[in-house]
Amino acid sequence: MIDNHRDDFEKIVKDAGIPTTPEAMKTVWDQYNTDQGSLISNDSNWSPFWRLISAIVTTPSQWVVNFLINHLLPNSFVKTASGRFLNILAWGLYLERKQGKAATGTLTFSRVNVTKAVTIPAGTRVHSPAINGTVYELKTLADATFTDNETELKTSARAVAIGSAFNLAPGYYSFLPEPVEEVISVTNKAEWLQLPGTDDEDDDSLRLRCRNQFTAVGQFHHDAAYRAIITDYAGLRADYIWFQHGAPRGPGTANAYLMLASGPAPEDLVNDINHHINDQGYHGHGDDLQCFSMPTFSVDLGAVLIPVIGLTQAQQRELKTGCEQMIRCAFRENQDYTVTRTWPFNRFSISRLGQELHDFFPNLDSVEFDRDDIESLMELPILGVLTLTDPAFSEVKLIGALGN
């Protein structure tokens, strides 16, 4: 961000008549020397005089100018400030950088034998498959016991670290690194998230909140005020909130549709935000705002993956798994790849997805998709059936989020 504007800041300094390079400074010193009638005429860079000037004047001046251009000026503006400097600017707007939180959600354990009491102890670990080399882990929060004739047991679990990357799609948390007696499976079902994990707020997210704060002065009756309330309370990014006007429930009403980096906002979170808005009395005179999870529409996607010649079967399997997870990342089921993602009010480019797969996987010789670009309005495209075909293996249909 700062590098993109360095020329602007350097021009500000130059326009103020301040030399910014050693050569420009030497020209100024030469002129001062002449204006003062000095008899020193040896202007070689290696002369004792100019070596002294460089040591006691030019070099310290360069330090000051570089600090001015590279640090002080950029960190004087919300657009280009970062780190502690941005924290100070945010403080001036009554904002603070948000700290990350660990994801909390519900896991479902299953058993077959219903005649024996089985307890899932607190601290039971549940893993995801490796995603781009990372395995995510949840731990159960309290002892939980199957009742008589109960085949499924739901219990709360929390991520072992903070971060939004733990907000995986349904079906990902499905491995028990240490088996639990009588338990045959575990999974995170749809709407499993109770409290989504969040990262420490990055500079871009904080900048968005700062910019929104400038337009939220009245705190009532307009989008910026409600966006400020929601982002401050729930930790959502300001650009993950969309408003619908046109009096959906009569005059003075509006809807806000919310999502996370991992997809639509969980219903528990949406309900919590609605209660916060109502309980705190944020509504103005006659206005009515309700929050909803961003609507979704299901997209079936098929792809033929052609690996480069000469790969072993293990390498082919690794390539296929990696391509699957990267495609799922594009549809916000995980966050472990740098890839263009689906958005509401957007055109999702299938050709760009293919190029990004090529860029990341050098062993991928070709990929062919079975559909054109995906266009959306107030809805988020999510995966329905993902079908990956690899000539080296049989066709596999991957329904929804990892088998749901």
CA distance 307 to 284: 60
Structure token digits, residue 303: 């792809």
Q: Quick check: 108 and 164 in contact, CB under 8 A?
A: no
**Three-class DSSP category at 184:** strand
Residue appearing with tokens 């002065």: 217
Supply the pLDDT for residue 228.
Answer: 87
Model pTM score: 0.79
Q: Judging by DSSP bridges, how do beta strands 296-307 and 380-389 pair with one another?
A: parallel
Residue reference for tokens 């039971």: 124
Which DSSP state fits 265? Answer: P
Determine the pLDDT at residue 324. Answer: 96
> How would you classify the pairing of strands 125-127 and 241-244?
unpaired
Strands 125-127 and 104-111, bridge-based pairing: unpaired
Q: Fill in the amino acid letter for 383.
A: L
Cβ contacts of 186 within 8 Å, gap of 6 or more: 107, 108, 109, 110, 126, 173, 174, 175, 176
Q: Can you name the residues that pair with 138 across neighbouring β-strands?
A: 126, 159
pLDDT for the residue 402: 60
- Specify the pLDDT at position 105: 95
Averaged over successive runs of 10 residues, the pLDDT of the chain (404 residues) comes to: 74 87 79 69 64 74 88 91 93 91 96 86 96 96 90 95 95 94 93 92 92 67 81 88 82 88 92 88 70 95 94 92 96 96 97 97 95 95 93 56 54
Give the pLDDT confidence score for residue 280 in this predicted structure: 75
Q: Helix 83-91 crosses helix 203-214 at what angle (to 10 degrees)?
A: 20
Residue 323 has what pLDDT? 96
> Tell me, what's the pLDDT at 285?
46
What Å distances lie between residue 77 and 7, 89, 195, 248, CA to CA?
Answer: 15, 8, 34, 39
Q: What is the pLDDT of residue 62?
A: 86
Tokens representing 2 are: 């700062």
State the amino acid at position 104 in one-letter form.
T
